[in-house]
Structure 1
Amino acid sequence: MTIQPNSIEARDKAYQLHSYTNAKALERDGALVIESGEGIYVFDSNGKRYIEGMAGLWSVAVGFGEQRLVDAAARQMAKLPYYHTFAAKTHGPSVDLAEKLIQMAPVPMSKVYFTNSGSEANDTAMKMIWYRSNALGRPEKKKIISRIKGYHGVTVASASLTGLPNNHRSFDLPLPGIFHTTCPHFRLFAQEGEDEAGFVARCAADLEALIAREGADTIAAFIGEPVMGAGGVIVPPAGYWEAIQPILKKHDILFIADEVICGFGRTGQMFGTTTFALEPDIITLSKQLSSSYQPISALLINDRVYQPIAEESGRIGTFGHGYTGSGHPVAAAVALENLAIIEERDLVGNVQALSPFFLKRLKALEAHPLAIEARGIGLIGALELAPREGFATGQLGPKLAAILQENGLFSRAVGDSMALCPPMIITEEQVGTIFDIFERSLDVFQTQLSAA
């Protein structure tokens, strides 16, 4: 890519630090400029079309260029472009959205608290849990258990919950009081001779051992994604959640279900909580809540969580937490319209209908000489590349991602796992095109590696 002086690429290199990017490589190579989007496609500044196989960042459920969301934003912008929810003030869109989310909740919930990103939602969940423990006169009950390879965000608190090394390295994380238990990835973490049932039993035993070591009276909560997304699309083995949840209940440990990726249809049910029969006390939501047309996230909390917080705020005189943009009227209006589209067009039904074909084509890639494992559920999946002599872990994935991009498909390399999470409006023909491109790209990559 030749970068012209004063082009958007040149100005980007000069002025912007990017997320999840090698800054030195960006200085050298520059960034790809995306100009527009339509349906499952995005277009770069040269007019080249790509299938957005990751729905942006696991998030654009209704596709790009949805006029109903544009119109919803414009209407609200003209009526009330901004207001807050501090100091006992509110506005219609936040009230309507809170009511809608309580009605949609997969398990009984009491209140909704709005934030602006999944990271903020999980960060706020930590603060709420600490606040609640103090309200209950249990100041020692503050520790939180997450999982190796779990992803819960990038604030100081939520990055501590995240169980990925590169979210901790050079940031002096995780914070004290955060612990990570066994990742439920059977192929990677099973011991020799261990079947899935034995692996699940060991995951549960590892959690019990961690609780015993730290003391149940010091542990406030456990956080987990129904399906791990940014850890590599890790679908837990059968019986995993059935083994984990009773342990939490036995030890009076709150359960936070991080539905930031799974929520609003991705797994084939409206919520991953339903897919896996979970019973969380807190659910965190974002991404497909507004199809990321506007930044918004939410926590759903049950009465067990809410009542002590309410009592403590009464004692102190305030719940001293909040964000300027929490429950932003434009974001809430867009989220409401987005949820209406998901329901009216039965996009969850579309996920259910296409999932067998999507997973069949994904599984077929597992037979490729470069692959080691295909994983998926609903319309989310990943193909993991086999280790290869001469390449460190995490080096193969970005190389294949570049070939896929050249061939018109955006995937995401999670280490050496190539993730797919297309918009939920996708058709069977478009799913087929994704995997046709994937197959060709694997063959190209194999030829390149053989020639090296």
Structure 2
Amino acid sequence: MPPLPNSIEARDIAFHLHPYTNARRHEEIGPIVMAKGDGVYVEDVDGKRYIEAMAGLWSVAVGFSEKRLVEAASRQMAELPYYHAFTHKTHAPVVDLAEKLIQLAPVPMSKVHFTNSGSEANDLIVKLLRYRANGMGEPHRKKIISRLRGYHGVTLASASLTGLPNNHRSFDLPMEGILHTTCPHHWREAHEGESEEAFATRCADDLEAMIAAEGPETIAAFIAEPLMGAGGVVVPPATYWEKVQAVLRRHDILLVADEVICGFGRTGEMFGSTYYDMKPDIMTVSKALSSSYLPISAVLVNERVYGPIADESAKIGTFGHGFTTSGHPVAAAVALENLKIIEERDLVANARERGVRLQAGLRTLSDHPLVGEVRGVGLIAGVELVTDKKARIAVQPPGALAARAFGLIQERGVISRAIGDTLAFCPPLIIDDSQIDTIVETVRLGLDELAGEMGMGR
């Protein structure tokens, strides 16, 4: 049924170009208009209520409509609604937040630079690595290795770091100097009979071979999510990070941990780097930093990274980078209050404890005729769908199966995300057991209906 003239839906179709959307398809079906949010729930303009099992976009840690964040924004808006950090200016919220992030960091860090999104933060890292290389008198050391199916954003540089075809197609990406090594997805990429440990060794060997082929002296850094999110919730195999970090140390290559999704409790630890015993030189944080109530992100660097950059800024006379709203005082104030809530309510422990229930619940679907693999850690999980379990393939075109499942589950009141043929789940850290059980049962019912449609009933 077409939307009514002058409705929000009709005006959205008329005026709004949506991210991650088939524009022509959107003209046909229009949007779902969300009107309210409360805790783990959102409600559309028709009054239908959903469990937001993706926390928006992997990000609303403390839930929707948290009054303390609203009040923090209001207080700061009334006192200092905006100021910048250019040319030796600062303000209390940005200083307090920088100090807090250094205190929380899983390894010693030196400085924090603020941006407005994870994409911008990772884009800046590309610039920082070039700036640092020039400052060290190593202008050849500027290549960055990422991974196939890794996700690091959508700007020109960060989309190049991203290892997903749809972020490259028709954008003429990736740009020069960005390389992609093996995706560490054991179920999908391992050889027949290859153990997780053996597969991890092969991934590390692939990385080492790439470094050798390119020349170690040309590689600035390796960037990776501790656990891959938007590439389909890919959990690294046992011993992966131990072996990869040994390769990086051997060749004096920096490690960049993209904590945009994993950071601030998602894995059941404050950072994914802690969960996997990673020792990054640079970290990217965003999303749950402010529960995405306001746009803010940050790049944390250690002294090994900061020193040459500071020296180069002295040589040139400035560090020629910054955004008008870098470290915005209202966003910083909201982020500080958000981190206080995460600590005071022990939401990291809640993610760890409720995560056990989420992972166990979803794994009860493993014998479903449409389920190939269930994977995840803490409160992040993926259910990969197939129509042939042995061949590990789904109906064509790719993504069609999960898209249909996503729709059936959403109709029943749970919002997930279809990534290829994987259904992703990443609920707010405040979720309780009964809400987790509702998610699992709703997914089961949706998959049962889909199997029935396909003549694959249990």
2:220 is paired with a residue whose SS is strand
Residue in 1 aligned with 2:391?
none
Aligned in 2, Cα 1:233/1:451: closer, same or farther, shift over 3 Å? closer
List runs of 5+ in structure 2 lacking aligned partners.
Answer: 389-393
Per-residue CA distance 1:227-263 (angstroms, 9 max, x = gap): 0000011110110000000111111111100000000
Residue in 1 aligned with 2:203?
203
Q: Which amino acid aligns with 2:246?
A: P
Contact persistence 2:84–2:325 (CA under 8 A)? yes
2:319 is paired with a residue whose SS is coil
TM-score when normalising by structure 1: 0.99
Tell whether 2:106 aligns with 1:101.
no
Residue in 2 aligned with 1:252?
252
Contact persistence 2:369–2:387 (CA under 8 A)? no
Per-residue CA distance 1:408-427 (angstroms, 9 max, x = gap): 01000010000000000000
Residue in 2 aligned with 1:288?
288
Distance (Å, rounded) in 2 between the aligned partners of 1:273 and 1:140: 29
Tell whether 2:452 aligns with 1:447.
yes
Residue in 1 aligned with 2:409?
404
TM-score when normalising by structure 2: 0.97
* CA-CA distance at 1:367 after TM superposition: 1.2
Residue in 1 aligned with 2:80?
80
* CA-CA distance at 1:390 after TM superposition: 4.7
Q: Which amino acid aligns with 1:207?
A: L
Tell whether 2:409 aligns with 1:395.
no
Residue in 2 aligned with 1:279?
279
Q: Which amino acid aligns with 2:148?
A: I
- Greater shift, 213-222 or 379-388, is seen at 379-388
Contact persistence 1:54–1:412 (CA under 8 A)? yes
Per-residue CA distance 1:361-412 (angstroms, 9 max, x = gap): 0111111110000001001001000146652221111111111110001000
Per-residue CA distance 1:91-111 (angstroms, 9 max, x = gap): 110000001000111100000
Per-residue CA distance 1:32-90 (angstroms, 9 max, x = gap): 00001000000001010000000000000000010000000000001011000011101
Distance (Å, rounded) in 2 between the aligned partners of 1:197 and 1:301: 31
1:299 is paired with a residue whose SS is strand
Distance (Å, rounded) in 2 between the aligned partners of 1:390 and 1:133: 47
Aligned in 2, Cα 1:387/1:216: closer, same or farther, shift over 3 Å? farther
1:17 is paired with a residue whose SS is coil
Contact persistence 1:39–1:425 (CA under 8 A)? yes
Distance (Å, rounded) in 1 between the aligned partners of 2:427 and 2:314: 45
Contact persistence 2:395–2:401 (CA under 8 A)? no
- Deviation >3 Å, runs of 4+: 387-390
| Alignment RMSD | 1.1
Aligned ranges 1:219-368 → 2 under 5 Å: 219-368=219-368
Distance (Å, rounded) in 2 between the aligned partners of 1:204 and 1:94: 39
Distance (Å, rounded) in 2 between the aligned partners of 1:96 and 1:43: 35
* CA-CA distance at 1:2 after TM superposition: 4.1
Task: Give % identity.
Answer: 62
Q: Which amino acid aligns with 2:446?
A: S
Residue in 2 aligned with 1:21?
21
Q: Which amino acid aligns with 2:273?
A: T
Contact persistence 1:387–1:393 (CA under 8 A)? no
Contact persistence 2:369–2:456 (CA under 8 A)? no
Tell whether 2:190 aligns with 1:190.
yes
Contact persistence 2:254–2:280 (CA under 8 A)? yes
1:450 is paired with a residue whose SS is coil
List runs of 5+ in structure 1 lacking aligned partners.
Answer: none
Q: Which amino acid aligns with 1:174?
A: P
1:3 is paired with a residue whose SS is coil
Per-residue CA distance 1:151-201 (angstroms, 9 max, x = gap): 000000000000000000000000011000001000111112322121111
Aligned ranges 1:372-387 → 2 under 5 Å: 372-387=372-387
Distance (Å, rounded) in 2 between the aligned partners of 1:248 and 1:372: 33
Tell whether 2:6 aligns with 1:6.
yes
1:424 is paired with a residue whose SS is coil
Contact persistence 2:123–2:157 (CA under 8 A)? yes
